[in-house]
Chains A and B, each alone.
Chain A
Amino acid sequence: MSPIPNFEDISQSVFLIPYSSLDDGPEEENETDLREARDVLENDLEHGDILRWEAYQSAWAKCLDKLQTIIQKLHEPVVEAIAEEIKNAYTETFPGLPYPELPTITISNPAGGTSFLNELTNQLDRSNDEADPSSFVTHLHPAECSNIMAGMKMLITGFIDRPPDKAKTQFKRKPATSLANYDINLLNAWFAAVRNDREQRNAKVPSLVAVLHDFEQFNPSVMQDIIDICSLHIPQLPLVFVMALSSAQSPSYLHVTYPRSTLAVLRIRQFHVPFGLHALEEMLRQTFFTTTFDPDVMLGPAALGFIVDYYSRYNSSLDSLLNMFQLVYLKHFMINPLSPLVKTTPAADILSAVASYSFVDTLFGRLCTTKTSDAWREKPLPTLIIAVDEAREVFNACIRKSRLGFELMIVVNTSLASLGYKSVEPDAHHSTALLRIAIDLVKGRATKHIEMLSSLIRKLKFSEVSSFLDTLRTYYRDAPAHIRDQEGKHKEHIDHFIAGLPQEGDDQYSEKMRQLAIDIGDWLLNYLDELVQPLEELPLWEVWSTGQTPFPMELMNPSIRASTVSGLLRSHEFSDSAKKPEETNLWDLPDTGILFQRYLDSGKMINVYDWFDSFQSVLETQRRETSGPRKGSPRKRGKKSVGGGNEGKWKLQVQARFIRALHELDYLGFVKHTGRKADHVIRTVFDVCDT
């Protein structure tokens, strides 16, 4: 059992209560563990859930690995710059300052997540020599620094836990008669020992780096004092503060929150981690829209549209982006019985199992329509396997072409944009050209962009034609080998165009040039049209693309009020999936649900006594029903000893249950107390669409 989290801690926004099977009674077995719950779909294979789970794991692992590599690449330059800055924090001195300034590095990382700081810590560790680290790093978290004493203690003990020298001897301190462990002089004494040791060995004196996580959550008055104290002891103590901010505004959070007197002792250098639409673009472009990587499952228009919208609208954090990709994958493999076919086709013995009959039947239905040859009648299963493999090949070839087309469109688009043309009109959502084209591509509506690009090229100025052709040629030259081989004929086209560039002195220069531009435009139009094919016409396309499956938005961003109300109205749907809504009676609901139903029936003000009466009558029914033959159907109620006829005790129980349910509604904010009328409360929620 895990320790119970401290719910009183207001600095925590989320508590994790890990699932433990001991917590639940035997009747509650509805956790959606994919392996345990035997999540069987219609038309599923035998052991389809396990196959789908395995296929999901391999597909997602591949995609996640790629995404993490991209994130790391995005972060790398910033991490290196910061490490360099920390190294030089005390070596560059600027003469003439009235007092030394405390070097402070602010990292604004609105994309959030701890990955950046982990990379930074790794980088600092990496650059450190085993024996003589060039910096000692300690980490401070807001929860540990609730007051100045705790904060100073964390800062100091974070450093002095290490032995100061080679001898690796820790001297025993007597806590009463020596310096307090929150006294900066203790750090001074420790660092004097470090310095002595290093100087004896002619090694570099290390700097002391304090990484402040979630800096916005620190109490400013505490931090202000810690900064003041530390600033009084530099440069004897070469402290460097690294502040991880999640806000990106400038002037920074520090300038908005801290007084000038604190800012005056800091030397702030700001660093920005790449984030926002640019990061999203990079991640999409390098995973789902590139010729160099083949994800197992392609995002469909619905999922891609939602991800772009959610990212730009609500939460531009990389962690949530990864979560969304993962959810798309999970959902794809959860609801699509054909999804085990993503990478491999199951062997004939699995397909021939009795339980797989409907699965195979569906596949026949999908594939047989086009080919009704003898092979299908004679050897249905092997032919089926071949057909599935064929469909996979076709889909992959087609999507690779589409991706090549996309890359070309982006190349053309950027080169036109650099010439000052706007080929993609900005829309209200300010999403970039790349995202616009990407969404239209997966929707199968890329034609309008292709036509637009082609018409712009036809009208290019003469001087721009040659540089445009150069860009195209560079693209082909830098493309991976298989693309160059495959598209050699088009490369020749470009070379042909370049060779055909008329000389400036030519008599028919302008006519030739115009004709050339038109030729290029036409070639591009045909070429891109050929490359970009709608995927949804391919056989079995929905195995490799999530298509129009809507994104499970309620998992990422539920509406609080709607979920609360639906939880109260239809609590059984959350617990017993087997039960149909029409089977449930009012008395079947939990107490709070019963009370809430009655609440909905009342007027603007509720007389609490009437409310209690109606609640009591429902409970009477419940008592009658549960004491009868239908034992144990409403959970928990069955446990209560209702027999015995002890009416006084029953009354008390009803009252207690009423009060408890009332308080729960009160706590959820459904009632408002008012002194205007005795025994009355006011409703706060009206017009609940209860259907």
Chain B
Amino acid sequence: MASNPLLYHHHRLREVSFLLHASPSPFIFINDPISPRMTTQAVLGALSSTTSTTISMHLVHVNAVTCFSARLLFDAILNGLAQWTPSWEEGCTNWSGPNDTRRYNESLDAFLRGLKTLYSFLHHSDSNLPRVTRFVIVIERVERLKDRLPDLIVPLTRLAEMTRIDVTIIFVSSGRWDDMRPSLGASPDPYFVDISIPTKEACVAHLCSVFQSCQTEPNLSLNPYHPALEGIHASFASILCDACFPFTNDPDELAYAAAARWPGFVQPILDNHAMERGKDDSNLTERDDNEHLFTDDAMLVDDTHDFVTPPEEVRMRLNRYFKPSITAALEQLYPRFSNAQDWADANKPSPEALEIVFPVHRVDHLSKPRIGVTVKEKPAEPYRNLTRMSKFILISSFLASMNPAKSDLRMFGRGLDEKKRKRRRITKAPSAKIKSGPIKIPQHFLGPAVFPLDRMLAILGALLEENDNDDNFRPSKIDFSIPGEYTDMEVSRVGVCSTIIDLTSSRLLHRTSPVERLDGPPMFKCGVSYDVVLGLAKELDVPLQDLLWDSL
């Protein structure tokens, strides 16, 4: 879906476009930290829309992610400039010059030769007019070139010099040129274009343009994307931007949230309209029936002629009713815990939204107004399904990550008399005397520390001995006589090791030492949060607070 170029880009991109038509700089670098995707679209739009009588411009757009090898990059550029679409029937051959079948993708030299051949071919093919042939190569997400094809950055930036043809290369990136500039000044400095952070007005305008691009035919029945609703959409866009701007100003994200919320937002208005029409036709007042009428796509009756934009107070009620749900939508949608469509389906406004927005329809029953969003029910305890041993392993890995290694003996050690040692460190009152040296930051601010596997297994053994001593299921336990021997066997079983590997692969534990290393114990880091571990500990009756050195 090609969206319209953003208005806020406009004058910067016009500048680029003018420049390319007048006297192009051979190398332009456009930096947009917020939405490079959209900027690329806008550049392409601006360049392809301007036509000139004196210049025949050949434009190609490649994505550095897609072109992960030099060959792909060369193929994409040459095919794109020649406007050559490889077809399956012809064996997917690349553009191969006007008459011969040479190969231009094997090396940089071949590519440059191909570029020159293509240039002269295109130049001569429309040489009846005294026009300048100009190549423009736009490379998106160019920051990826640095780790993929670092050798090609210099030649690409010097393409005009090396080929001596009229070619301009435009890099579009969310990063800075300084971060990818080759050393020793091997590349010339580009002409910099910095795109500013979009303003609220620009975003509102962008949302409106998205609405226009989705608009349905005006003679269709009233639906969320009917042209008659444009005015309401504009006010919706503005409150959406107000609500979301503290969190994100990426126009794509705003459009995503808007797409999810708009059908629900406009539903009461559609309902109201349907009801009023229904009253006119017959005394259909049941909302369900109307809803049914609306979803029926076959109905192409022009029923919008009598649609009047609702008055200001209705809009205000609508805004007030839905405003809290907009932030809720962003909270779910920005990290993509849910997708727009599912969210919109799950958060359809309740029937009482209609009554609140249009008090005319209020049926007399006392009900408290609710917010127009049903908070998505929390996923039932996400870790409940883990096996019992994985829960113990997670708890002990958390303890190993949070407690200093020196405290283990004090925390988990047992005397001969089977009594626990004194566990908790005595928290001293903050002494007035300021100690020298750096201040000790508590571990829970520093994040999980790395621990060797053996230490975690030892803690696991202590936990199992204390909390998992149920004899009911252990027929084989009788074989062991020394106290703790059973647990000792238990923690070195294959099941424990494979559980640790499983947890690592599902990223609940992080392995910090490389897999290939055989020397020394493997090192791990806990991958779950305090809250999760607390929940697990409650389930297993482990007194987590007592076992933490710095209790939270």
**B-contacting residues of A (Cβ < 8 Å)?**
10, 13, 92, 94-101, 110, 148-149, 152, 164, 171-174, 176-180, 182-186, 189-190, 192-193, 216-217, 225, 228-229, 232, 245-251, 253, 255-257, 260, 263-264, 266-269, 275-276, 302, 305-306, 308-310, 312-316, 427-430, 548, 550, 553, 556-562, 667, 689
Measured between beta carbons, the chain B residues less than 8 angstroms from A95 are 214, 224-225, 259
Report whether A249 and B506 are in contact in the complex, using a CB–CB cutoff of 8 Å. Answer: yes
In this complex, which of B76, B85, B339, B515 has the most chain A Cβ atoms within 10 angstroms of its Cβ?
A: B339
What are 17 contact pairs spanning A and B, CB under 8 A?
Answer: A94-B340, A99-B37, A172-B91, A178-B86, A178-B91, A180-B71, A183-B75, A189-B88, A216-B507, A246-B505, A251-B382, A257-B507, A313-B389, A314-B389, A553-B476, A558-B494, A560-B493
Report whether A184 and B66 are in contact in the complex, using a CB–CB cutoff of 8 Å. Answer: yes
Which residue of chain B is the closest to A247 with respect to CB atoms? B506
Report whether B256 and A97 are in contact in the complex, using a CB–CB cutoff of 8 Å. Answer: yes
Knowing A189-B88, A189-B92, the reply to whether A315 touches B489 (Cβ < 8 A) is no
The 8 Å CB contact of B385, one of A96, A176, A275, A427, is: A275
Measured between beta carbons, the chain A residues less than 8 angstroms from B87 are 189, 192-193
Report whether B259 and A97 are in contact in the complex, using a CB–CB cutoff of 8 Å. Answer: yes
Measured between beta carbons, the chain B residues less than 8 angstroms from A180 are 69, 71-72, 75
Residue tally, chain B, CB below 8 Å to A:
87
Tell me the minimal C-beta distance from A87 to chain B in angstroms. 16
Measured between beta carbons, the chain B residues less than 8 angstroms from A193 are 87-89
Bound-complex Cα distance A232 to B494 (A) = 44
Report whether B541 and A97 are in contact in the complex, using a CB–CB cutoff of 8 Å. Answer: no
B502 within 8 A of A: yes
Report whether A96 and B225 are in contact in the complex, using a CB–CB cutoff of 8 Å. Answer: yes
Measured between beta carbons, the chain A residues less than 8 angstroms from B211 are 96
Knowing A98-B251, A180-B71, A192-B87, the reply to whether A249 touches B340 (Cβ < 8 A) is no
**A-contacting residues of B (Cβ < 8 Å)?**
1, 3, 37, 63, 65-66, 68-69, 71-72, 75-76, 79, 85-94, 96, 101-103, 106, 210-211, 214, 224-225, 251-253, 255-256, 258-259, 262, 334-337, 339-342, 344, 379, 382-383, 385-389, 470, 472-476, 482, 489-490, 492-499, 501-502, 505-508, 515-516, 518, 527, 539, 541
Bound-complex Cα distance A365 to B93 (A) = 86
Bound-complex Cα distance A550 to B473 (A) = 11
Which residue of chain B is the closest to A221 with respect to CB atoms? B147
Report whether A176 and B106 are in contact in the complex, using a CB–CB cutoff of 8 Å. Answer: yes
Which residue of chain B is the closest to A152 with respect to CB atoms? B68
Measured between beta carbons, the chain A residues less than 8 angstroms from B515 are 10
Among all A-B residue pairs, the 7 with the closest Cβ atoms = A247-B506, A96-B259, A314-B495, A193-B88, A263-B336, A309-B473, A98-B255
Report whether A560 and B3 are in contact in the complex, using a CB–CB cutoff of 8 Å. Answer: no
Tell me the minimal C-beta distance from A605 to chain B in angstroms. 19
Measured between beta carbons, the chain A residues less than 8 angstroms from B106 are 176
Which residue of chain A is the closest to B391 with respect to CB atoms? A313
Measured between beta carbons, the chain B residues less than 8 angstroms from A257 are 507
Bound-complex Cα distance A18 to B344 (A) = 54
Measured between beta carbons, the chain B residues less than 8 angstroms from A557 are 493-495
Bound-complex Cα distance A152 to B334 (A) = 29
The 8 Å CB contact of B68, one of A100, A148, A189, A556, is: A148
Bound-complex Cα distance A263 to B516 (A) = 30
Report whether A305 and B475 are in contact in the complex, using a CB–CB cutoff of 8 Å. Answer: yes
Report whether B76 and A429 are in contact in the complex, using a CB–CB cutoff of 8 Å. Answer: no
Report whether B92 and A305 are in contact in the complex, using a CB–CB cutoff of 8 Å. Answer: no
In this complex, which of A95, A176, A229, A260 has the most chain B Cβ atoms within 10 angstroms of its Cβ?
A: A95
The 8 Å CB contact of A314, one of B342, B387, B506, B508, is: B387
Measured between beta carbons, the chain A residues less than 8 angstroms from B493 are 557-560
Measured between beta carbons, the chain B residues less than 8 angstroms from A148 are 68
Bound-complex Cα distance A248 to B508 (A) = 11
Measured between beta carbons, the chain B residues less than 8 angstroms from A245 are 506
Report whether A269 and B89 are in contact in the complex, using a CB–CB cutoff of 8 Å. Answer: no
The 8 Å CB contact of A96, one of B71, B262, B473, is: B262
Measured between beta carbons, the chain A residues less than 8 angstroms from B225 are 95-96
Measured between beta carbons, the chain A residues less than 8 angstroms from B3 are 98
Tell me the minimal C-beta distance from B393 to chain A in angstroms. 11
Bound-complex Cα distance A469 to B352 (A) = 41
Inter-chain pairs besides A556-B495, A557-B495, 8 sampled, C-beta below 8 Å:
A98-B255, A173-B91, A179-B86, A180-B69, A180-B75, A182-B69, A183-B72, A264-B252
Bound-complex Cα distance A189 to B84 (A) = 12
The 8 Å CB contact of A313, one of B71, B96, B339, B387, is: B387
Measured between beta carbons, the chain B residues less than 8 angstroms from A228 are 65-66
Bound-complex Cα distance A179 to B96 (A) = 11
Measured between beta carbons, the chain B residues less than 8 angstroms from A275 are 385
Bound-complex Cα distance A145 to B476 (A) = 44
Bound-complex Cα distance A559 to B502 (A) = 18
The 8 Å CB contact of B382, one of A94, A184, A250, A309, is: A250
Bound-complex Cα distance A305 to B262 (A) = 55
Measured between beta carbons, the chain A residues less than 8 angstroms from B251 are 98
Which residue of chain B is the closest to A167 with respect to CB atoms? B89
Measured between beta carbons, the chain A residues less than 8 angstroms from B386 are 248-249
Bound-complex Cα distance A557 to B210 (A) = 59
The 8 Å CB contact of B336, one of A189, A255, A427, is: A255
Report whether A177 and B103 are in contact in the complex, using a CB–CB cutoff of 8 Å. Answer: yes
Measured between beta carbons, the chain B residues less than 8 angstroms from A560 are 492-494, 497
Which residue of chain B is the closest to A13 with respect to CB atoms? B501
Measured between beta carbons, the chain A residues less than 8 angstroms from B342 are 269
Bound-complex Cα distance A553 to B479 (A) = 13
Measured between beta carbons, the chain A residues less than 8 angstroms from B473 are 305-306, 308-309, 429
Measured between beta carbons, the chain A residues less than 8 angstroms from B482 are 689
Report whether B492 and A229 are in contact in the complex, using a CB–CB cutoff of 8 Å. Answer: no
Measured between beta carbons, the chain A residues less than 8 angstroms from B37 are 99
Report whether B508 and A249 are in contact in the complex, using a CB–CB cutoff of 8 Å. Answer: yes
Report whether A561 and B76 are in contact in the complex, using a CB–CB cutoff of 8 Å. Answer: no
Tell me the minimal C-beta distance from B172 to chain A in angstroms. 14
Report whether A216 and B69 are in contact in the complex, using a CB–CB cutoff of 8 Å. Answer: no
Bound-complex Cα distance A83 to B258 (A) = 30
Report whether A94 and B344 are in contact in the complex, using a CB–CB cutoff of 8 Å. Answer: yes
Knowing A98-B252, A429-B473, the reply to whether A267 touches B339 (Cβ < 8 A) is yes
Which residue of chain B is the closest to A216 with respect to CB atoms? B505
Tell me the minimal C-beta distance from A308 to chain B in angstroms. 8
Bound-complex Cα distance A185 to B71 (A) = 13
Report whether A302 and B475 are in contact in the complex, using a CB–CB cutoff of 8 Å. Answer: yes
Tell me the minimal C-beta distance from B416 to chain A in angstroms. 16
Measured between beta carbons, the chain A residues less than 8 angstroms from B101 are 177
Report whether A171 and B91 are in contact in the complex, using a CB–CB cutoff of 8 Å. Answer: yes
Tell me the minimal C-beta distance from A129 to chain B in angstroms. 22
Bound-complex Cα distance A559 to B489 (A) = 6
Report whether A185 and B86 are in contact in the complex, using a CB–CB cutoff of 8 Å. Answer: yes
Measured between beta carbons, the chain B residues less than 8 angstroms from A308 are 473
The 8 Å CB contact of B88, one of A99, A110, A192, A216, is: A192
Report whether B341 and A92 are in contact in the complex, using a CB–CB cutoff of 8 Å. Answer: yes
The 8 Å CB contact of B65, one of A189, A229, A310, is: A229
Report whether B86 and A96 are in contact in the complex, using a CB–CB cutoff of 8 Å. Answer: no
Knowing A189-B86, A193-B88, A429-B473, the reply to whether A276 touches B385 (Cβ < 8 A) is yes
Bound-complex Cα distance A689 to B91 (A) = 71
Tell me the minimal C-beta distance from A218 to chain B in angstroms. 10
Tell me the minimal C-beta distance from B201 to chain A in angstroms. 18
Bound-complex Cα distance A229 to B259 (A) = 24
Report whether B91 and A316 are in contact in the complex, using a CB–CB cutoff of 8 Å. Answer: no
Report whether B470 and A96 are in contact in the complex, using a CB–CB cutoff of 8 Å. Answer: no
Which residue of chain A is the closest to B207 with respect to CB atoms? A96
Measured between beta carbons, the chain A residues less than 8 angstroms from B90 are 171
Tell me the minimal C-beta distance from A528 to chain B in angstroms. 23
Measured between beta carbons, the chain B residues less than 8 angstroms from A429 are 388, 470, 472-473
Bound-complex Cα distance A430 to B94 (A) = 64
Report whether B75 and A100 are in contact in the complex, using a CB–CB cutoff of 8 Å. Answer: no
Knowing A98-B3, A305-B473, the reply to whether A229 touches B336 (Cβ < 8 A) is no
Knowing A110-B385, A189-B86, A229-B65, the reply to whether A100 touches B506 (Cβ < 8 A) is no
Measured between beta carbons, the chain B residues less than 8 angstroms from A182 are 69, 72
Bound-complex Cα distance A50 to B214 (A) = 74
